[in-house]
Amino acid sequence: MRLFLIGLVLFCGSPALLHADSLAVGQPAPQITGTDENGQPVAFSTVYAKGITLVYFYPKAGTPGCTAEACSLRDSYTKLHGVGLQIIGVSRDAVDAQKKFQDEYHLPFTLVADRDGAVAKAFGVPMMMLMPVASRESFIVKDGRIAWSSLHAKTDGSAQEVQQALDQLSKN
């Protein structure tokens, strides 16, 4: 256990190792299909077609940081959705864990159960320490391309970070 914790500290302290393959701004957004919290398919291209889309990855539903991040987006959902933002949260949790997380915290957006890691892989989001949990990263997709990314996404300040990105994108 001690070696695991030391490895985790060293790994998390090396951002270059964490984010070497994540999609960059300007790259095409992945045209992938995932499974939502109700066990239904989610074609990301269909969501993108509805407007600007935030796809955010989090390690584990119900943990303190992931809950803070989701609740930050929930608390600002009316404002974010009001400007047309679609939100998809993605983790390696099972469908039932995603549903429980959504229900418990009254999350008004889609949660994708990425059990096999295919969605994370499509976005270039690495797993943490070879464990089946994705690192915390966020992407805004606009017009089918990555328009913004945060490779060190915030937890309780997530909505503010996304709002600042939207404000900047609206100026461009």
Catalytic residues: 66
- According to DSSP H, which parts of the chain are helical? 2-12, 15-18, 44-49, 64-75, 77-82, 95-105, 118-123, 158-171
> CA 147 to CA 165: how far, in whole Å?
9
**Burial group, residue 17, by CB count within 10 angstroms (0-12, 13-18, 19+):** exposed
Instruction: Decide: 61 and 101 in contact? Cβ < 8 Å.
Output: yes
